[in-house]
Amino acid sequence: MPSESIVRLEQVCRRFQSGGQTITVLDHLSFSLDRGQRIAIMGASGSGKSTLLHLVAGMDHPDSGEVWLGDSRLDRLAEPARTRLRARRIGLVFQDFNLIEALSVRDNIAMVMWLNGLDERSGAIEALADRLEIGDLLDRLPEQLSGGEKQRAAIARALIHQPDLLLADEPTGALDPTTADRVLDLFDEAVDRAGCTLLMVTHNQAAADRLGQVWRLDRGQLQPC
């Protein structure tokens, strides 16, 4: 596999059972992403966009096929190894935020730094939080935040360790247009300065267009728009 390839899926199938029927959401899907690519994935609700992100993150298993992150085949790694690899190389922005309710915003962000042996006292948390306009919210609990503030906290957590791969599921869905543009600016910076690869699921055509490459997931396959 080329050294600059970050993600590769080969002949991946994923099926679910529903009402006695088998639903195929990914059908022998193959694609790869190189370092520095920005890809937006669009498609109808239920088309498998979030499932695809979960497979790329090693949070779900394909029914068949191969999922690679760099030179590691995720679908063959044990859970502890997948967790370590995900913590080190991937930044995740979930549609439902996935913040730990018992931790402050600061500690939710710092948790990723702890997992990677980074110094939380470096000022990086405060600098990134200020750019996302949540610097004055770091000591609050998630339950004290609005939906948009939770989303920005989740984005800070995803970016704080400068991951190789950023997976974002509707990252601008809870944000006003001005804040959404600011978040996409940060994503651009992660790609341009750190060589991050961005794979973003969105229903927002304007957000998708900013990434430059837009793919549509339909009937288990990706097609360039």
Digit-by-digit pLDDT tens for the chain (225 residues) are 344 789 999 999 999 998 889 999 999 999 999 999 999 999 998 899 999 999 999 999 999 999 999 999 999 999 999 999 999 999 999 888 899 999 999 999 999 999 999 988 889 999 999 989 999 999 999 999 998 899 899 999 999 999 999 999 999 888 888 888 888 998 988 888 878 999 999 999 999 999 989 999 999 999 998
Pairwise CA distance, residues 97 & 173, whole Å: 11
Of residues 43, 69, 42, 44, the one with CA closest to residue 55: 69
The DSSP element (H or E) to which 114 belongs, if any, is helix 105-115
Q: Which domain holds residue 83?
A: 5-224
CATH code of the domain covering residue 133: 3.40.50.300
Long-range contacts of 116-123 (CB under 8 A, 24+ apart): 116/87, 116/88, 116/161, 118/160, 118/161
What is the pLDDT, as a whole number, of residue 3? 47
Tell me the HSE value of 75 on the side-chain side, using a 13 A CA sphere. 20
Total count of domains within the chain = 1
Pairwise CA distance, residues 86 & 17, whole Å: 28
What is the tally of helices (H) and strands (E) in the chain?
Answer: 7, 10
What is the pLDDT, as a whole number, of residue 120? 87
List, in sequence order, every residue forming a beta bridge with 41; answer none if it has no partner. Answer: 201, 215
Of residues 92, 123, 96, the one with CA closest to residue 196: 92
What is the pLDDT, as a whole number, of residue 225? 87
> Within its chain, how far is the Cα of 50 from the centroid?
10
